[in-house]
Amino acid sequence: MGNLYVLDHPLIHHKLALLRDARTGVKEFREGVGEIAALMCYEAMRDLPTEEREVETPVARARVRVLAGKKLAIVPILRAGLGMVDPILDLVPSAKVGHIGLMRDPETHQPITYYCKLPPDVSQRRVFVLDPMLATGGSAAAAIGYLKEAGCASITMLNLIAAPEGIEVVRKAHPDVDLYVAVVDERLNENAYIVPGLGDAGDRIFGTK
């Protein structure tokens, strides 16, 4: 059974305050998304296995720990998930990157798939799915479904802001998946936007509105 982790951390709240503010411009918004993604990654990768090595420091021989075990993949949901990729790759540069392109139908709010390209050995990797927003949960559930079809067995989802409705949908559809969310907001509005949320994450990252 997967777990739900709500990070609820002062540093993250501080950065989220900037993202929520409608006056925040594209540059600051994009930087803020990246900074929170890195903080979330730090927590979500806490249980990665390590193995012992020895190195010579300038002073003595030292036992050190390095990452071991399953290799990693990160899979942003396009477009907004792209804002989380580079800061995470800075931390785990050998991770492979897959892309899943989904857009919500404006009427039905159901996800429409327009792209899916995954690393060929993705099923052998521990996969982190990235998307700043978890609203109805339709996009996240669909993306996780594609990864399972590709044979992935170890999947973790990272969202900055989640609605309770979306958390329920993902946990019901994929009870085995760990879910890391920075904060849980109140609800969805009639347009399936998160309230209070931060608006359209993709538009704010790429300046398309």
Does residue 74 touch ligand PRP according to CB under 6 A?
Answer: no
DSSP 59: S
DSSP annotation string for 78-90? ETGGGGGHHHHHH
Yes or no: say if 181 and 6 are a contact pair by the CB < 8 Å rule.
yes
65 burial (CB, 10 Å; 0-12 / 13-18 / 19+) is exposed
Active site residue 23: no
- Contacting ligand PRP (CB under 6 A), which of 34, 73, 87, 136? 136
Which tokens sit at 154? 């170890």
* Distance between CA atoms of residues 136 and 62, nearest Å: 50
Closer Cβ to ligand PRP, 119 or 138, answer by number: 138
CA distance linking residue 115 with residue 12, whole number of Å: 31
Q: Is 47 a catalytic residue?
A: no
State the number of CA atoms in the 13 A half-sphere of 126 facing the CB. 15
Which residue, judged by CB position, is nearest to ligand PRP in the bound state? 202
Binders of ligand URA among residues 137 to 196 (CB under 6 A) are 193-194
Instruction: Tell me if 126 contacts ligand PRP by CB under 6 A.
Output: no
Tokens representing 136?
């109805």
CB of 179 closer than 8 Å to CB of 171: yes
Instruction: Write down the least CB distance from residue 126 to ligand URA, Å.
Output: 26
- Please give the residues from 34 up to 93 whose contact with ligand URA meets the rule CB under 6 A: 80
Q: What's the closest the beta carbon of residue 207 comes to ligand PRP, in angstroms?
A: 12
Residue 192 makes contact with ligand PRP by CB under 6 A? yes
Residue 197 interacting partner from ligand PRP, ligand URA, none (CB closer than 5 to 8 Å by kind): ligand URA
131 is catalytic: no
Which is closer to ligand URA, CB of 157 or CB of 201? 201
Cβ proximity to ligand URA: between 152 and 167 the closer is 167
- Given 65, 105, 108, 176, which residue is catalytic? 108
Which of 1, 21, 12 has its CA nearest to residue 158? 12
Cα–Cα distance for residue pair 36/48, rounded to 1 Å: 20
Task: Give min distance, CB of 87 to ligand PRP, in A.
Answer: 17
Contact residues for ligand PRP (CB under 6 A)?
Answer: 77-80, 102-104, 109, 111, 131-140, 166, 192, 200-202
